[in-house]
Structures are given as C-alpha cells and as structure tokens.
Structure 1
Amino acid sequence: MLKLRIGLAQSRFPKSLSDGMDIVKKMIAQASDQKCGVICFPESVLPGLRGVGFSVEEYDHLKMSAALDEVCAWAKQYHVAVILPTEWKDEDGMHLVAFVISEEGEIQGYQTKNQIDPDEDQFDYVSGRGRQLFTVNHVTFGIVICHEGWRYPETVRWAAQRGASIVFHPQFTGHVPNPEFYRGAMVCRSMENNIYFASVNYALEDQGTTTTLVSPAGVKVSTLPENVEGLLVWDIKPEQAHRLLAKRFRAELV
C-alpha cells in the first residue's frame, strides 16, 4: 500500500532571512528524524511575509539564490523533499512562490501565487502564469498559496482533477474577525474534491487558524495548537483520495 509521510512545519515568523534559514534547517532535520518524505513550510518563510505586522528585510536576489542553493543541499543531506515558500523575482517581476525540492536536492519547479490578496497589491507582486503538479515518492500533489486556497476553490479543483492526492496550502493567517470561515474552508477544499488538504500556518500569538491536515472525507485528522512551534507528521494514503467529486465536475456546464 502506497503511503507518504508528510511534515507540516508550524514555525515561528523569521526575524530575518538568516533566522529563516535557521528555522528551515532545524525543521528539515526534525522531518528527517521522523522519516518524513516531504516537509512544507508557511507562506514566504524566506525572508518572511510582508504586510502582516512584522519587519521583513529588503529583497536581495543574490542572497535569495544562495539561500535556495543551501536549502537544496539540506534536502539532499537529510533526504527529505522540501516545499519552500519564498519571494522570488524573475523577468516578470516579484512573485510569491513555493519551490519544490526533491530529496536529492534538485529543484522540480515552483508554484506561483496567481491570485493576489488585495492587501498585497501595495508590494507590487505579480501573478504567475499557470499551475503545475509535482510528485514525491510516486504521490502527486498540488500547491495553492494562502488567499488562493481560502477564496479561489478553482485552484484546488485544478490539481484534484489532474490527479493530485493532496494539495499543500502554505499560508499566513493571524487575527481575523471570522476564523470559522478559514476553518470551514479547509474542510470544503477537501470534501468538494475528495483529496487531502494540508494547510500550514505560522505559530502566532493571535492565530486565526492552525496548521491542519484534512482527510479526503473532510475530517480534520490532525492539527497543531495555536502559538506553538511544531511539526505535524502524518502518513497519508493516496488511495483514500479517490477524487470522485473532482472527476465528476462538468466544467462545460458551468
């Protein structure tokens, strides 16, 4: 029976790019110790997410490139695949992305944040050009970043229709007036597609939603407490993600 042990890293918010690197290395090592096949971090763990009440240093592409190379080396050293959300600048402009690094330290690609939160327009982030799937240990997955997973369910449906057993959801959610919306949205993204939904938040003093794994049946199988750094570890079983509702979606009839 095929399975994949995942690690969801509810880390503290980094004080700097260097501090973020310390966080990432420490938690990759923890994931290795617990025999995880893949670890996912919160949104823009390097260098930190802008506009959420924390100081974040100015973007430096040379430093970010060097940091990415170092994380690739750690993935190979600890033999753990890494989903690494960062800022990243290319010829189109500044993006929020999630790199996927194999357990051999090779970059498989990255998923851009294509649906930008209106509050992030001030930072001139540019939407990406498409979506893609990734594979670790024969398990196919997609990635949606924060705002996309909360308010654009089409992004999750896209991955599920194309064979994803699990969608990872790196996010930042601090104080919100309606936390029940976010908690319910995680369950909806799972149940409306019959896949695993793995949402990864920071450890925050006022945390609107905690790091949570939802099963293909819409059951919250594991969650971390608020404002506690930790690694949520779980063995997912891809055959349980039958994707019945996703496969029955008739896009031509909408």
Structure 2
Amino acid sequence: MSLLKIGLAQTRFPQSAADGLAIIKQQIMNAANSNCDLVCFPESVIPGLRGVGYEVEAYDHQVQLRALADIRALAGECRIAVILPMEWKDEHGYHLVAFVVGKNGEDLGLQIKNQIDPDEDQFDYVPGEGRQLFTMEDVTFGIVICHEGWRYPETVRWAARRGASIVFHPMFTGEVSNPDFYNGAMVCRSLENNIYFASVNYAIPNQQVTTALISPTGERLSVAEAGVEELLVYEIDPARATRLLAQRFLPELVE
C-alpha cells in the first residue's frame, strides 16, 4: 500500500466566499509545493460556517458552483487531491458537505453531513443519506464532519470497518469549556478503530482545540499551534492502520 502525504490546512475564518476561495487556493499551492498528495480544509470553508459568532454572507449557489469549478481546475494544475467542505443546496435543501476532488481535477464524490448539531437546526440544514468511502492511489479514506466525529463515533467506525485507513474530520471548534473532551475524542476515534484520524479546525482566537493528526495507536503525530494559520504536512503509512478493533466489532450484538 502506498504512502500518502497529506496536508491539513488550519486556516483563518473567511470573511466571505471569495475570501474562502482565496484561502483555499493559497493553501492548495502550499500543499503542492510540499509534495502533498491530498489537502483537507475546515468545515464549510466556503462561505464560512454559520452560527459560530462570525458574519457569513447569504448563500449564493452560483458563487458556490464557480468556486468548486475553480478548485477542481487548480487541483488538476497542481496535481493534488482536495477535500473541500462547503455549504451546498440541492433539490432536498441546504447541506453541509465535503467534496472530494482528485489529482486530475475530477469529481470523486462528496460526503454530506448526516448528523446535524442541534445548534444548527435554526439554519434548516437537511442531513444526508448514507455514508461514502473514497479511494486514491490504493488508499481508502472516509470523511466525518465536525459534530459527527465528536458525538457519533459510529460514523468513524462505519468507514474503518469498510476499509478506511484514515478518516478526515473537517470541523469548527471554538472556545469551549471542556477541551479535554475534544482532544481526547480525536485519540479515541483513532485508537478504538486502529486508523489514522485527521481533524482540521480553523485558526481562531482563544483556540483550545487545534488541527491534529492521530496515529492508529493513539499518538499525536502532528498538532497545529493555537490561533495560527498553519499547514500540517505528514506522510502516513496506511499499512499501520490495521483496523483490528473495528474489524472485531460484532454489530449483531448491539443492533
């Protein structure tokens, strides 16, 4: 199984969809210059996440479409895959999603946030149906979006049981009263499944939970500095993700 060099982009919170696009483009180029195979961004980086204390402009589907097209083109130019979390509207309503763009700029699919945070109910987000796996260069990975990874560990185990060596976790976690829970949950998601867990936050004031990569045996392999825009770069060995505990789970005993 191939080694996979990943970039985890802890970015500032965007002031607009256009600012979010500029942030993403710069970090894609930074990741490409570091020879990354894939780069992941925080939750809803275009146009920004609603309800977390920042002003976010009204949804504009044409703006979102153009931004996605621009990122696909740049991914192809830079030969790097991108996990692009966005707000998105389809025939079912508004969603929080993560698009996956391949190294040739191709569409590899998307994961819609299935478990909506109660604080987000006011925005009428519609949960997705089902979960997805993605594969590039013979490495399989999953995506869980913010609240899912913190409060619904089943979403991570779903991916691990089906072959994921790493699960990416685009999120926003601001100033919280219990940072030990969030930092510990990252380790739990890795250690209870024996996979890599890559959690990607924004660089925000008073930050207590930062972007981090956790190994399949629970080590913090790389951790971003609080409040600082930073691209974490790390080459993972998917063969280390044995998925032993995930594979030993007996769902028929609890479902």
**Alpha-carbon offset, residue 218 of structure 1:** 0.5
**Alpha-carbon offset, residue 137 of structure 1:** 1.7
2:202 aligns with 202
1:112 aligns with 112
1:247 aligns with 247
Question: CA deviation digits over 1:73-95, x for unaligned, max 9?
Answer: 01001111000000010111100
Counting only pairs closer than 5 Å after superposition, residues 80-91 of structure 1 correspond to structure 2 as: 80-91=80-91
Q: Distance in 2 between matches of 1:96 and 1:83?
A: 13
Q: Distance in 1 between matches of 2:184 and 2:143?
A: 19
Q: Distance in 1 between matches of 2:59 and 2:214?
A: 34
- Aligned partner of residue 158 in structure 1, secondary structure: helix
2:11 aligns with 11
Contact 1:37 1:137 in 2 (8 A): no
Counting only pairs closer than 5 Å after superposition, residues 14-163 of structure 1 correspond to structure 2 as: 14-163=14-163
Contact 1:20 1:46 in 2 (8 A): yes
Q: Distance in 1 between matches of 2:16 and 2:63?
A: 12
**Alpha-carbon offset, residue 132 of structure 1:** 0.7
Q: Distance in 1 between matches of 2:72 and 2:87?
A: 16
Contact 1:38 1:136 in 2 (8 A): no
**Alpha-carbon offset, residue 208 of structure 1:** 2.9
Gaps of 5+ in 1: none
Runs ≥4 in structure 1, deviation > 2 angstroms? Answer: none
- Aligned partner of residue 21 in structure 1, secondary structure: helix
Q: Distance in 1 between matches of 2:137 and 2:45?
A: 24
1:215 aligns with 215
Q: Distance in 2 between matches of 1:207 and 1:136?
A: 32
**Alpha-carbon offset, residue 144 of structure 1:** 0.1
- Aligned partner of residue 111 in structure 1, secondary structure: strand
- Aligned partner of residue 35 in structure 1, secondary structure: coil
**Alpha-carbon offset, residue 188 of structure 1:** 0.2
User: What RMSD, in angstroms, separates the aligned Cα atoms of the two structures?
Assistant: 0.6
2:228 aligns with 228
Aligned partner letter, 1:74: L
Question: CA deviation digits over 1:60-84, x for unaligned, max 9?
Answer: 1111111100100010011110000
Q: Distance in 2 between matches of 1:235 and 1:67?
A: 28
- Aligned partner of residue 98 in structure 2, secondary structure: strand
- In the alignment, structure 1 residue 2 sits paired with structure 2 residue 8: no
Aligned partner letter, 1:148: E
Question: CA deviation digits over 1:195-222, x for unaligned, max 9?
Answer: 0000000001121300000000011111
- Aligned partner of residue 208 in structure 1, secondary structure: coil
**Alpha-carbon offset, residue 136 of structure 1:** 1.8
Aligned partner letter, 1:149: G
- Aligned partner of residue 232 in structure 1, secondary structure: strand
Q: Distance in 2 between matches of 1:249 and 1:156?
A: 13
- In the alignment, structure 1 residue 183 sits paired with structure 2 residue 162: no
Contact 1:204 1:226 in 2 (8 A): yes
Provide the aligned length of Structure 1 versus Structure 2: 254
